[in-house]
Chain A
Amino acid sequence: MSDTYDTPDTRDMLDRTRQGVIGKPLDRPEGPLKVAGTATYAAEYVRENCAEGVLVGATISTGRVKKIHRDLVMAMPGVLGVYSSERMLRRAAQGTAGEAPEQDVSKVDFPMQPVALVVAETFEQATNAAKALQIDYDDQSGDAQFMPQDVDAEPAADPITAGDLDRAMRDAAHSVDLAFTTPGHASAAMEPHAAIAEWDGRDLTLWGSLQMLTYNVAELADSLGIDPKHVHLLSPYVGGGFGSKLGISHEAVAAAIAAKELDRPVRVVMSRQQVFQSIMRRSETEQRIRLGCGTDGRLTAFGHEALVSNLPGEEFSEPVTQASEFLYAGENRLLAVRKSDITRLTAGSVRAPGEAVGMQALEVAMDELAEAAGIDPVELRKRNLPDEVPGEGTPYSSRRLVEALDAGAAAFGWNKRSAKPCARREGEWWIGMGVASAARVNILAKAEARVTLTADGHVIVETDHTDIGTGSYAILGQVAAEMLGQPIDRTTVRLGDSRLPSGAGSGGSWGASSTGSAVFLACEAIRATLAQALGCASDDLLLQDGKAWAEGVEPRPVTDLLSEDLTRTGKIEPGKLMEKVNQSTYGAFFCEVAVNAFTGETRIRRMTGAFGFGRVLNAKTARSQCIGGMVWGIGSALTEELAFDSRDGHLVNHDLGEYHVPVHADIPDMEVILLEERDPHASPIQAKGVGELGICGAAGAVANAIYNACGVRLHDFPMTPDKLLADLPDPFAPAA
């Protein structure tokens, strides 16, 4: 069954089916393998005679490789080869590129860019030889620019303008005009990038850690100059992606080239430092936000401008103002992003590109406007939800932002917040509360899946879709089991093999709704066949626990209706609905912090999130996506920051000891409220995405809580103690 999604499916099929597994908080089917250590990740496949490769990074910022002194390392014990070729990658591919990124490692685009691969019999030998490898460079770093402020930035897209922002700001009863900065961020997925490549004649098998196999096959084949039909990718378990594994990167192409040359399998695992230095960063941003409202708190002026950066030649620019396009009212608008070309590693998608950093600044600005206008920040947000997308006139599909704010406020106890800062003190700690909205665009992507109902009543779901921790194994099985009326333990989901039908891939929060819809459509086709065999209309067919019946038709075991395995493929493509209706996802964050009155240290005490993102497919895995996003928000608010050297553009804090992701002790109790919602405009399963929503705005709630606690307003993330310290109130003064 194939469907370009042009008209909303309002049948709510999954509410009429009988199996009762959809949405349930079921355990992940692959859970036992993961907790017992038997789920196999890219580097862990046993291939006979596998050689080990280690990448070597450039020690200049930009320029050319003049000479690689191979001979010395070739004489070292166990060394098999030193590779540096026109086909090896200078940069990782951007998400959904579907073609080779910049190749040819005789050029150097940024510091520590991989320029060679050393392969040896063992990892220790390869590591040692890689360290010993001498390379002569033609260093052209003198011409390079490393700071985004030092170059003339170009518009990343046409600005969105309406009315007269300057004038509306002048006329506004209350206004704020604020400058924010957010630093670069790293995905820092726990599993470093890894690949094992093995050739059989012209056919390449590559075990990799990848998010989007259909695109990755095309990218790898193009990089190697071979037909995609000769590339077989396997990525059944992925140790986190967060954007960093959307496209093919250095290790996969290098492993394939070396394996071909050596005629034996080659494994290349990037070190943690190499992952930080050479895959992708989220761009730092400078943002200016101007908001103006009348005495009633209604926005009349809305300006959001940003400066981001990337390497010369990269099209991607962090879409900082993405949610600003649709979230709040304000008839006089200016939204604009400019991009500087600088010499730092490639900027690309890191979890929730755009909203992750745009929303955290916007939500602080809203808090400041609320204070200026003397309106409760929850109320100010509720007053500013437009009826249609400002300037576009596009209607909204489902938007449960008011419900999220209300439900979150009630669960959190928002009414106990004092509007004035420094009102609550416990020992050395100032205590405060903050709120922020969550918003994230929703996308339906092209997807295909195959479902088989076996003659003995098992359900098998197959697609090259991946599960990067998102819950794909769980939810795709739940959709199929629900549609075909089989118990979940008779359902098997096979993922992460490029020979299976093309799923949407994991990224952009679109995996569940897109590939889930493909599974749904395949199941609809199977249901049609079953209905025919039973002698009823498809929509009247009832299926549960392996039985089929209809109004007035006696129940029969489904297996009686099957003479052989029944296999159908479902396909979905985005259609007119994506353009005609704004289908974004929404939520609200509430956060309580304690700020140390003497040291400026911030501790998160508790956090509540309420989210509406269409149909919940599995309440357990959806909640996990939300808490994961909130943890990222806390990191972004308090600790995460890529530091680049202004003299040569190199990434200074390239490991987990220096780039501080939140740890257990940083994370408080988290409460997540999942709002029931159906969005028939988004997908035939009425579901939307949730993988990124939980981060979009979360850091704003933390920042607002810090202000409410101690009265210090910061606009430069992360909000580390050194920044707070100078402005902290007298620690010995009594609470206001």
Chain B
Amino acid sequence: MAQRPAARLSVNGQSHEYHGDPRRSLLDVLRLDLGLTGTKKGCDHGQCGACTVIVNGRRINSCLTLAVMHDEDEITTIEGIGTPDALSTLQAAFVAHDGFQCGYCTPGQICSATAMIEEIRQGWPSAVTADPADKPAVAEAEIRERMSGNLCRCGAYDNILAAIRDAMAQTEAAR
């Protein structure tokens, strides 16, 4: 009898079967098995956000979850968001606003912000939302709070915020 694959992952629209070591994190499967090294490892402990990917529409730290737990999940990594020749609006805004320096936290920032923009649109509250029953304001405090799981040791925060705001405005205008 054919062995059932440990996990069928859909990554950036492509399906993969993962049969390997069940101890392997989703992050390491992406980086080592699938060659998707755009997702970074900064701490392997859920403390930096460099490994942020989007799973079924929600951002998660891929270092804190095992690949085998993602059978049938839809995973989007930075490579699925845009390519150097066809950047997403947000990626292009990061370049224009210099929302990075060394670039190591950057894919995580962008994956995180991509999902965060959707969270605000859907009205999810955050710790700084005045009244959780209300729609959160698209304010800088909201963005800063929601992005605080993504560390940038180069200290590009001011520019990252500008890039996110710019991309949000562009997307709104195009709506």
The reply to whether A628 and B38 contact each other, CB–CB distance below 8 Å, is no
A123 to B157, CA, bound (A): 33
Q: Which residues of chain A are within 8 angstroms of B82 by Cβ–Cβ distance?
A: 35-36
Interface residues of B in 21-58 (CB under 8 A from A): 21, 23-24, 28, 31-32, 35-45, 47-48, 50
Cβ-defined contact, B105 with A32, below 8 A: no
Contact at B154–A190, with CB atoms within 8 Å?
yes
**Least Cβ–Cβ distance between A693 and chain B, in angstroms:** 13
A425 interface contact, C-beta 8 A: no
A27–B96 CA distance with the chains assembled, in angstroms: 6
| Given known A-B contacts A33-B84, A34-B100, A239 and B40 have beta carbons under 8 A apart | yes
Nearest-neighbor residue (CB-CB) of B39 within chain A:
A37
Decide if A190 touches B45 in the complex (CB within 8 Å). Answer: no
Instruction: Note all chain A residues with C-beta closer than 8 A to B157.
Output: 627, 631, 662-664, 667
Interface stretch of the complex, out of A164-172, A176-184, A617-625: A617-625
Interface residues of A (CB under 8 A from B): 27-28, 30-41, 43-44, 46, 122-125, 128, 187-192, 237-242, 269, 271-272, 468-471, 620-621, 623-625, 627-632, 655-657, 661-665, 667, 669-670
Q: B159 to A238, Cβ gap below 8 A?
A: no
The smallest beta-carbon distance between B70 and chain A, in angstroms, is 17
Query: Does A272 lie within 8 Å of B44, measured CB to CB?
Result: yes
**Tally of A-B Cβ pairs under 8 angstroms:** 192
State whether B102 touches A623 (Cβ < 8 A): no
Q: Which of B120-173 contact A (CB under 8 A)?
A: 140, 143-145, 147-161
Q: Once the chains bind, are A627 and B158 in contact (CB under 8 Å)?
A: yes
Q: With a CB–CB cut-off of 8 A, which chain A residues contact B84?
A: 32-33, 36, 38
**B110 — which chain A residues lie within 8 A by C-beta?**
35
Taking CB as reference atom, which chain B residue is nearest A191? B104
With the chains together, A238 CA to B148 CA distance in Å? 23
A238 and B100 within 8 A (CB): no
Task: Answer yes or no: B119 CB below 8 A from chain A CBs.
Answer: no
Note all chain B residues with C-beta closer than 8 A to A629. Answer: 155
Assuming the contacts A27-B95, A239-B40, A670-B158, asked whether A123 and B28 have C-beta atoms less than 8 A apart, the reply is yes
* Whole-angstrom distance between the Cβ of B91 and the nearest chain A Cβ: 4
Kindly provide the distance from the CB of A472 to the nearest chain B CB, expressed in whole angstroms. 11
Q: A37-B79, A238-B102, A664-B144 are in contact. Are A272 and B154 (CB under 8 A)?
A: no
Given contacts A28-B98, A657-B47, A670-B158, A38 and B38 within 8 Å (CB-CB) = yes
Give complex CA distance A191, B106 in Å.
11
- A272-B47, A665-B145, A669-B158 known; A37 and B28 CB under 8 Å? no
Given A36-B38, A36-B87, A624-B159: A240 and B154 interface contact (C-beta under 8 Å):
yes
Evaluate contact between A664 and B147: CB separation under 8 angstroms: yes
B contact residues, range: 35 or more
Contact partner, B144, options A31, A35, A269, A667, Cβ 8 Å: A667
Instruction: Assess whether B78 is interfacial by the CB under 8 Å rule.
Output: yes
Chain B residue at smallest Cβ distance from A694: B155
- Report the Cα distance A664→B32, complex, angstroms: 30
Select B95's contact among A35, A238, A667, beta carbons within 8 Å. Answer: A35
User: What is the CA–CA distance of A630 and B159 in the complex, to the nearest angstrom?
Assistant: 13
User: Within the assembled complex, what's the spacing in Å between the Cα atoms of A394 and B156?
Assistant: 37
Task: Give the CA-CA distance A664 to B116 in the complex, in Å.
Answer: 14
Give the chain B neighbours of A31 by CB distance below 8 A.
94-95, 98, 100
Which residue of the partner chain A has the closest CB to B164? A664
| Residue in A closest to B80 when the chains form the complex, CB atoms | A37
Question: Which label, helix, strand, loop or mixed, suits the secondary structure of the B interface?
Answer: loop
Q: Is the CB of A36 within 8 A of B79?
A: yes
Interface centre among B36, B148, B157 (most CB of A within 10 A): B157
Bound CA–CA A268/B77 (angstroms): 24
Q: Given the complex, which residues of B lie within 8 Å of A32, measured CB to CB?
A: 84-85, 87, 91, 95
Chain A residues whose CB sits within 8 angstroms of the CB of B32 once the complex forms = 123
- The 8 closest A-B CB pairs, nearest first, are A37-B38, A631-B155, A239-B104, A469-B102, A469-B101, A34-B103, A37-B78, A628-B155
Please pick, from A27, A657, A664, A667, the residue contacting B98 in the complex, using a CB distance under 8 A.
Answer: A27
Task: Quote the shortest CB–CB distance from B144 to chain A (angstroms).
Answer: 4
Whether, in the assembled complex, B3 has its beta carbon less than 8 Å from a beta carbon of chain A, the answer is: no
**Residues of B that sit less than 8 Å from A by CB:** 21, 23-24, 28, 31-32, 35-45, 47-48, 50, 77-79, 81-85, 87, 91-92, 94-96, 98-107, 110, 140, 143-145, 147-161
Nearest Cβ in chain B — how far from A60, in angstroms? 25
Tell me the complex Cα distance, A34–B110, Å. 11
A664 touches B150 (CB 8 A): yes
14 additional A-B residue pairs with CB within 8 Å, beyond A124-B24, A656-B151: A31-B98, A32-B85, A35-B92, A36-B81, A36-B82, A37-B38, A37-B106, A189-B102, A240-B101, A272-B42, A628-B155, A629-B155, A656-B43, A669-B158
Give, as a whole number of angstroms, the nearest-CB distance from B154 to chain A.
Answer: 5
- Tell me whether A35 and B100 are in contact in the complex, defined as CB-CB below 8 angstroms, given that A27-B95, A123-B32 are known contacts: yes
Contacts of B140 in A (CB 8 A): 669
Which chain A residues border B28 with CB–CB below 8 Å? 123-124
**Cα(A128)–Cα(B24), bound, Å:** 12
- The CA-CA distance from A44 to B106 in the complex, in Å, is 16
> Whole-angstrom distance from the CB of A116 to the nearest CB of chain B?
20
With the chains together, A667 CA to B162 CA distance in Å? 13
Closest B residue, CB atoms, query A242: B153
Q: Which residue of B48, B105, B160 has the most chain A CB atoms within 10 A of its CB atom?
A: B48
Q: A469-B154, A667-B157 are in contact. Are A122 and B47 (CB under 8 A)?
A: no
Q: How far is the CB of A474 from chain B (nearest CB, A)?
A: 9
Q: B83 — which chain A residues lie within 8 A by C-beta?
A: 36, 38
A665 and B148 contact, CB distance less than 8 A = yes
Rounded to whole angstroms, the CA-CA distance of A655 and B43 in the bound complex is: 8
- Whether B94 pairs with A190 at a CB distance below 8 angstroms is no
| Chain A neighbourhood of B102, CB < 8 A | 189-191, 237-241, 468-469
Q: Give Cα A665 to B49, complex, Å.
A: 14
Is A191 in contact with B37, judged by CB distance below 8 angstroms? no
Instruction: Kindly identify which residue among A35, A46, A191 contacts B94, using a CB–CB cutoff of 8 Å.
Output: A35
Give the residue of A40, A123, A471, A667 whose beta carbon is less than 8 angstroms from that of B37: A40
Known contacts: A123-B28, A272-B45, A664-B150. The answer to whether A35 contacts B101 by CB under 8 A is no
B156 interface neighbour in A30, A128, A188, A628, Cβ under 8 Å: A628
Taking the closest CB of chain B, its distance from the CB of A333, in whole angstroms, is 34
Chain B residues in 8 Å Cβ range of A628: 101, 154-156
A667 to B157, CA, bound (A): 7
Instruction: Determine the chain B residues whose CB is within 8 A of the CB of A189 once the complex forms.
Output: 102, 104, 153
Identify which of B82, B94, B100, B103 gathers the most chain A CB atoms within 10 Å of its CB. B103
B154: A residues at CB distance < 8 A: 190, 240, 469, 624, 628
Complex contacts, B107 vs chain A, CB 8 Å: 35, 37
Chain B min CB distance to A70 (Å): 23
Q: How far is the CB of A275 from chain B (nearest CB, A)?
A: 9
B103 and A39 form a contact (CB under 8 A): yes
**What are the residues of chain B within 8 A of A33 when measuring CB–CB?**
84, 103
- Residues of chain B within 8 A (CB-CB) of A238 are 102
Most buried by A among B21, B95, B154: B154
Give the complex CA separation of A470 and B153 in angstroms: 13
Q: In the bound complex, do residue B159 and residue A627 qualify as a contact, i.e. CB atoms below 8 Å apart?
A: yes
- Cα distance, A238 to B96, chains bound together (Å): 21
Tell me how far the C-beta of B63 lies from the nearest C-beta in chain A, rounded to whole angstroms: 10
Q: Is the CB of B101 within 8 A of A272?
A: no
Tell whether, in the assembled complex, residue A35 and residue B31 are in contact, meaning their CB atoms are under 8 Å apart: no
Q: How far is the CA of A687 from the CA of B96 in the complex (A)?
A: 24
